[in-house]
Amino acid sequence: MVERSVQQTADGLGNDGLAYRALIEPLVANWNDLSKSLLGPLRLPSHPLKLARFGLHAFRSARGLARSLFKHAPARALFAGMAAHSVLPLDSPATAAFGLVLGITAHAVGWPVPRGGSQKIADSLVACLRSAGGEVVTNFAVTALDRLPASRVVLCDLTPRQFLRLAGSQLTPAYRRRLERYRYGPGVFKVDWALSGPIPWQAAECRRAATLHLGGTLEEIAASERAAWEGRSVERPFVLVVQPSLFDTTRAPEGKHTAWAYCHVANGSKEDMTARIEAQVERFAPGFKELVLARIVLSPADLERHNPNLVGGDISGGANDLAQLFARPTLRLYRTSSPQLYLCSASTPPGGGVHGMCGYFAAQAALKDHFRQ
């Protein structure tokens, strides 16, 4: 169980508690300084020694770091679950960085769920934009960038595939070729549930966690993530579960609950993972299936139809391996071969996640290029 307190988390890890504290505690203490480097593009660090301490572990594979630092299954599994957000095989270089960042943020700021649902975040952003004189236009399919009103700059929240389709004629041939080589990662298969009661987890700790990683052990999680990367499926997929109605009563009628989950699958997979996802929940929460009142199932193709940026169900905006972690999607980062056009999607640094930093740095680049004297 990752608690907000590093000490409480360590206390729950038995003999691996000291190793966990030694790894995480200094990084949590330095989060305010580290975040400036970790949540943005590669650049000269303002706190090189603190970043070096992070990098000492971050460039290792998650599997290698977990096995070398921790001696027992619980701590190894805890770290593997966080590192699996990389959507990469856990023996790949730098997958430890994802586990570290997720672990640090869990302690430093928490993993919150928005009261009233994720739509509330979008509503707040729209309200902020409108208060500054901005306008939001919906129900308008942009099939080419020349359909947009005239402007000095255009920031495109698109992955390379959609950007090429809309702006290809405005880009140089060399830049187009680089975008065409951009690679997408595994997709996800998602299930939303309406439940007649809370999920009956066997482990009491799970009943007070908003986010859960269901995978059993480091080895099981690693096998699932390797399979998704290689285009295979497993009987026991690594499943990420969120149960917001335990903490936000607006998410379900009184006495009822909602939850959702997804697992990583091959990009564009057509395999129905509903039964296997629900079997994983049932494995750790016997009686879960009897609580299901209704479900909505979203395959990778369904997700892409809902949002064309989710190519093949890839929610990360492209593979997160070392080749695409820093030069994302090219060395130009947010800038493109057209001085008017910028990219601000998860296909730019620091990649996918609910942080908004891709847009922030794209806006900073546009301001510097066009608006600052």
The CA-CA-CA angle for residues 168, 173, 176, to 5°, reads 55
Which residues are CB-contacts of 146 (< 8 A; sequence separation ≥ 6)? Answer: none
Nearest-angstrom CA–CA distance, 369 and 326: 21
**Mean pLDDT for each 10-residue chunk of the chain (373 residues)?**
96 96 94 85 77 88 97 97 96 95 94 92 95 94 88 95 91 95 97 98 95 96 97 95 96 96 97 98 98 98 95 96 89 95 96 90 95 73
- CATH code for the domain in which residue 280 is found: 3.30.70
Domain boundary (270, 288, 306) is at 306
198 and 173 inside one domain: no
Q: What is the dihedral of CA 338, 340, 346, 351, to 10 degrees?
A: 80
Contact 24, 8 (CB under 8 A): no
The CA-CA-CA angle for residues 79, 80, 81, to 5°, reads 90
338 and 235 inside one domain: no
212 and 361 inside one domain: no
pLDDT of residue 353: 85
197 and 286 inside one domain: yes
Residue 223: which domain range?
Answer: 187-306
Query: What does the block give as tokens for 88?
Result: 């990469």
239 and 277 inside one domain: yes
326 and 259 inside one domain: no
The CA radius of gyration of the chain, in Å to the nearest whole number, is 21
322 and 257 inside one domain: no
The CA-CA-CA angle for residues 269, 274, 276, to 5°, reads 95
Domain-located, residue 122: no
**SS3 sequence of the chain:** CCCCCHHHHHHCCHHHHHHHHHHHHHHHHCHHHHHHHHCCCCCCCCCHHHHHHHHHHHCCCHHHHHHHHCCCHHHHHHHHHHHHHHCCCCCCCCHHHHHHHHHHHHHHCCCCCCCCCCHHHHHHHHHHHHHCCCCCCCCCCCCCHHHCCCCCCEEECCCHHHHHHHHHHHCCHHHHHHHHCCCCCCEEEEEEEEECCCCCCCCHHHHHCCEEEECCCHHHHHHHHHHHHCCCCCCCCCEEEECHHHCCHHHCCCCCEEEEEEEEECCCCCCCCHHHHHHHHHHHCCCHHHHEEEEEEECHHHHHHHCCCCHHHCCCCCCCCHHHHCCCCCCCCCECCCCCEEECCCCCCCCCCCCCHHHHHHHHHHHHHHCCC
Domain-located, residue 133: no
Nearest-angstrom CA–CA distance, 277 and 189: 9
Contact 90, 61 (CB under 8 A): yes
253 and 323 inside one domain: no
56: Cα separation from own chain's centroid: 23
Domain-located, residue 212: yes
Domain-located, residue 137: no
Domain-located, residue 134: no
pLDDT of residue 268: 96
Neighbours of 306 (CB within 10 A): 10
26 and 13 inside one domain: yes
How many domains are there within the chain? 3
Domain-located, residue 129: no
97 and 206 inside one domain: no
Domain-located, residue 132: no
pLDDT of residue 168: 79
Domain boundary (61, 92, 108) is at 108
233 and 296 inside one domain: yes
Domain-located, residue 247: yes
163 and 57 inside one domain: no
| Nearest alpha-carbon partner for 17 in 31, 5, 30 | 5
